[in-house]
Amino acid sequence: SGLEGLSSAVYTRVLGWTKEELDVLLAKVRREMKDRTIHSYWPIYVVYGQKPEK
């Protein structure tokens, strides 16, 4: 799922968590991601532009 790659640096280096603490958290996150009773939505904004021709 890529969760470990996305979160390991922040939780271990910045927040000072141990690898074991992070593994416990990620196990809970994975379990909740599989829970079909949870419906999560995040607003996503897409901004784009185009360089003028001249």
pLDDT tens digits, residue range 40-52?
A: 788 999 999 999 9
In a domain, 22, yes or no: yes
Structural domain includes residue 50:
no
Residue 48 lies in a domain: no
Residue 31 has pLDDT above 90, yes or no: yes
Position 53 in a domain:
no
For residue 24, is it within any domain?
yes
18 domain-assigned: yes
User: Mean of the pLDDT values across residues 1-5?
Assistant: 84
How many other C-beta atoms are found inside a 10 Å radius of the C-beta of residue 23? Answer: 13
Structural domain that includes position 9 = 3-34
How many structural domains compose the chain? 1
How many residues in the chain?
54
Give the pLDDT score at 41. Answer: 82
Q: How many CA atoms lie within 13 A of 40 on its CB side?
A: 8
User: Can you list the positions of beta strands (E) in the chain?
Assistant: none
The Cα 10–Cα 23 span in angstroms is 13
For residue 19, being part of any structural domain is answered with yes
Across all residues in the chain, what is the average pLDDT? 92
Q: What is the average pLDDT across 14-19? A: 96
